Structure 1
Amino acid sequence: MPPIERYAIDQGCTDEELLAVARVYARDVVAEHGLTVSVGDLDWRLSTRAKRRAGAVRYRDGDPRSIVLARRQFENRGWTAMASTIRHELVHVHLLNERDDPSHGETFERLAAELETHVRCERFVEPTWWVRCVECGDQLARYRRSKLVERPEEYCCGNCGGRFHVVRNE
């Protein structure tokens, strides 16, 4: 794995600087691990709206077109978290190219472990609401208003069947 510190960039950088470093880092990861990813053929973008998803691969007809990274993850968790997300998305692109498989299945999990990245990203923005089960204490993060947030009494916990209570995160 290329040393992450070599690519570290200040959180106050411009979007263009961050994307440039992300592409250079991605190219080195691809070369070191023999992934079937053409970094230069992908459109690299930042999302300023993403709150739950640290990254995404956009594809059409099984062909990867772009990688979108969450600027907030970088601002709140730093370069190490962003680098992990880049490796995660490169695994997706590789598996789309090799197997037409965008899932987080067994092959993804194996490659993610090899590239020392996550299968699911760590929360990088606090949710607006917590939906909590009164019975077992299980909780669900919600970032937008939804039927569950507005009418929790119409739903039950998938874990124990208990009732939900909504708490606005301050």
Structure 2
Amino acid sequence: MNEVEWYAVAPPCSHEEFLAAVRVYARDAVTHHSLSVAVSDLEWSVSTRAKRRAGVLRYRDDTPLEIRLAWRLFENQGWHAVASTVRHELAHAHLVAEHGDASHGPRFQRLADRLNTATHCQRFTPPEWWVVCTDCEHRLPRYRESRLVRNPGEYACGRCGGRLTVHTAD
């Protein structure tokens, strides 16, 4: 059993149970990796709306304030994906506090490697639409009925300049 599994929770559980496990895991991850993050000073919350972003760090004046995690990530990919996202957001919190840097730049990439977490998340919710180039077949996932989805003829492919069409995701 690896360290992540000690903290594992699984659906169905309440947001409160989920966040309790997340806080305990985060506190131990901070200690284990010597991060300068006060887990108890952070607000932890769940987003039931997020479809593309697994987690987000909110901060002000180089002070980490909140980490919000996507409930759909937990439902669709489970605890291991959440634990990786927690480490990812803790890396941001550490770098914001230490260097005022919230980017995914070289410093973040080195820390993400040390924390064994990805620099960007995999898709965890299927898109509602795919915008597809008729020439190069490049596909863009879309989660909202944006102007591009409603009027693809007003736009051209950013890769080849080709015509775009919209397909409902199945």
Structures share fold, TM-score greater than 0.5:
yes
Cross-structure match for 2:161: 161
Residue deviations 1:119-161 (CA, integer Å, cap 9, x gap): 1101111000000111111111100011111111111111111
Unaligned ranges ≥5, structure 1: none
2:61 is the counterpart of 1:61: yes
State the alpha-carbon separation in 2 of the partners of residues 125 and 88 from structure 1.
19
CA distance in 2, matches of 1:13, 1:41: 24
Q: In structure 2, what is the equivalent of residue 15 of structure 1?
A: 15
Q: How high is the TM-score relative to the length of structure 2?
A: 0.96
**Corresponding residue number in structure 2 for 1:135:** 135
Query: Could you tell me which residue of structure 1 aligns to residue 146 of structure 2?
Result: 146
Same amino acid, percent of matched pairs: 55
Q: How far is the alpha carbon of 1:62 from its aligned partner?
A: 2.0
Superposition pairs of residues 119-134 of structure 1, within 5 angstroms: 119-134=119-134
**Per-residue CA distance 1:45-84 (angstroms, 9 max, x = gap):** 0011111101001111221110000011000100000000
Q: Secondary structure at the match of 2:11?
A: coil
Gaps of 5+ in 2: none
1:84 aligns with 2:84: yes
- State TM-score, norm by structure 1: 0.96
Partner of 2:94: 94
Q: Which residue of 1 aligns with 2:73?
A: 73
How far apart are 1:36 and its partner, in Å? Answer: 0.6
Q: Does 1:41 align with 2:49?
A: no
Distance in 1 (alpha carbons) for counterparts of 2:76 and 2:90:
22
Aligned equivalents of 2:36, 2:117: Cα separation in 1: 18
CA RMSD of aligned residues (A): 1.0
Alignment partner of 2:75: what SS? helix
Cα distance in 2 for residues equivalent to 1:3 and 1:73: 20
Deviation string, structure 1 residues 24-57 (Cα, Å, up to 9, x no partner): 1011111011111000000000011111101001
**Whole-angstrom distance in 2 between the partners of 1:46 and 1:52:** 14
TM superposition outliers: structure 1 runs of 4+ over 4 Å: none
3-state SS in 2 of match to 1:66 = strand
Tell me what 1:116 maps to.
Answer: 116
**What is the alpha-carbon distance in structure 2 between the residues aligned to residue 154 and residue 109 of structure 1?**
37
Out of 39-48 and 145-154, give the one that drifted further: 145-154
